[in-house]
Amino acid sequence: MLLFAWGSLVACSFAYLNNYNQTPGEIGSISAEASLPLRRPPAEKQWLLSMGIHPQCPCTRASLAELERLMVHLDRLVHTRVYVFKPSETDSSWLETPLMKKLYGVAGVEILLDQDGQIANQLGILTSGGVMLFDREGQLKFRGGLTSSRGHEGDSLGTQAIRELVYGRNPLQHHAPVYGCKIIAKREPLQ
């Protein structure tokens, strides 16, 4: 009986934890205000992969790890921009986080500060770790996250889809759940 109770407690706990980890964040849509330069890759690259992160979000570390793995294979074709959310009222210490150190270590990534999350908001990246993949014409080909659960490294639908797209194949899905902290508290209308 005690064993059963203990097993049940542990099972429920794990179920809750799994459920938490598997609960995706919100994915927004691209605002009309999002300019083309925000959506087109540089000329030498065929794809533009934009990611929005919250520099304090611990879950995004897994997303960066997956991004780093993607970059190993797709750096030649894909230009990657990471928009780092920075509220106006914060100073530079806001960016002094392990996540940023990790980000700085990822090669071939263009890091841009996203003041008050405006760009992420325009791109509809509401959850830290969320990515948008645009083709040469600035067409959105994929949106979602790179992890299979919250803060969990490993294969995921997002990385699989992006790899398929970049290699010219048809992915099963053009979107994937994104797991991470909310970059901004609520959707703010684009100016």
Q: Under the rule (CB under 8 A), what is the footprint of another protein? A: 2-3, 6-7, 9-10, 13-14, 16-18, 20-22, 54, 56-59, 61-62, 65, 85, 87, 89-90, 117, 128, 147-149, 151-157, 160, 172, 181-185
Query: In terms of Cα–Cα distance, which of 150, 137, 140, 149 is closest to 175?
Result: 140
The answer to whether the CB of 134 falls within 8 A of the CB of 143 is: no
- Beta-carbon contacts of 34 under 8 Å, excluding residues fewer than 6 positions away, are 122, 123, 190
Q: How far is the CB of 106 from another protein (least distance, A)?
A: 16
Q: How far is the CB of 138 from another protein (least distance, A)?
A: 28
Task: State the Rg of the chain over Cα.
Answer: 17
Distance between CA atoms of residues 111 and 93, nearest Å: 16
Cβ proximity to another protein: between 40 and 175 the closer is 175
Phi, psi of 28 (to 5 degrees): -95, 180
Q: How far is the CB of 140 from another protein (least distance, A)?
A: 22
Cβ proximity to another protein: between 31 and 56 the closer is 56
Q: How far is the CB of 10 from another protein (least distance, A)?
A: 5
Cβ proximity to another protein: between 1 and 43 the closer is 1
